[in-house]
Chain A
């Protein structure tokens, strides 16, 4: 461990500055990488009312959250695909999902679905979450339902 035999290319102090510069560059690079990736891969959350206010482009990956509308759940003839409507009690959106729905999925329950709209305006879900947070409710759903003032009664 005799340090005198080492011949570093630079004096320690200068080297430290270079290292510092590298470290800051790495962090800045990571930040830039992160922010540019956020621009393309952050998934926006929509409540059904938002879909009508500013519709996402067909094919764009979004999350759609709300309640499974009462009486809307239908199983298609293949036995595997579910068709249902997700509502925030103001507007509702048709959703299709092929697969086994999670344990907490049932009519009237809050769900978050991930997927995209097809050209006909049906939301093709690739996953359905009734997420297992501490209160069994996705915060986004609770939040958006709290914001919606309610349905207009007949």
Chain B
């Protein structure tokens, strides 16, 4: 190799082979990172965080008292769980809601676009963790709450201000987070 060995070896092909893997991996990291970012956004931001809870006046189930704005001004932070009998993730989170109730948390439910009989059956099979259940037949309350689907869970402080929105089902690992948010809201 007496004739200028560096020139052919430094061709674009060589560079591609040397830096290619690093570039590919960088693309991968950016892709996964943007995924993470997306989920973070979905999970934490809501226009209503820090805003007062919109007026709520929902009928209850089978003659039981419904859910009204007064239920959110008791001085004690509460959870509001937006659910429906036709929603599978809502069944998955039922044990977590039960655990939260057992830990002394007040949980109110809003059943969205649902028939009273179905809701009653749902609560019978999956347990009823709710202090109050309001029936939101048209989905209007859900929309004013800024909720786009079920299940979602809101932390409301004792003065009726929305402090936190949890989108998707509550998994066992989310309980600590929700408890922390409730404690924070209670201060």
Contact = CB atoms under 8 A, between A and B. Distances in A.
B22 to A, nearest CB: 15
Contacts of A137: 88-89, 92
Contacts of A154: 115
A14 B11 CA distance: 11
B87 A151 contact: no
A54 interface: no
Interface string A17-56: 1001101100000000000000000000000000000000
B17 to A, nearest CB: 5
Interface string A64-101: 00010000000000000000000001000000000000
Nearest to A11: B1
Main SS class of interface, B: loop
From B13, B86, B113, B169, residue with most partner A Cβ within 10 Å? B86
From B8, B88, B149, residue with most partner A Cβ within 10 Å? B88
B16 A24 contact: yes
Interface of B: 1, 5, 8-9, 11, 13-14, 16-17, 84, 86-89, 92, 112-115, 137, 139, 149-150, 168-169
Given A142-B88, A142-B169, A146-B87, 18 more contacts: A13-B1, A13-B5, A17-B13, A20-B17, A21-B13, A24-B17, A67-B86, A67-B88, A137-B92, A142-B89, A146-B168, A149-B113, A150-B112, A150-B139, A151-B113, A152-B113, A153-B115, A154-B115
19 contacts: A11-B1, A13-B1, A13-B5, A13-B8, A17-B11, A17-B13, A20-B17, A21-B13, A110-B88, A137-B89, A142-B88, A142-B169, A149-B139, A150-B114, A151-B113, A151-B114, A152-B113, A153-B113, A153-B137
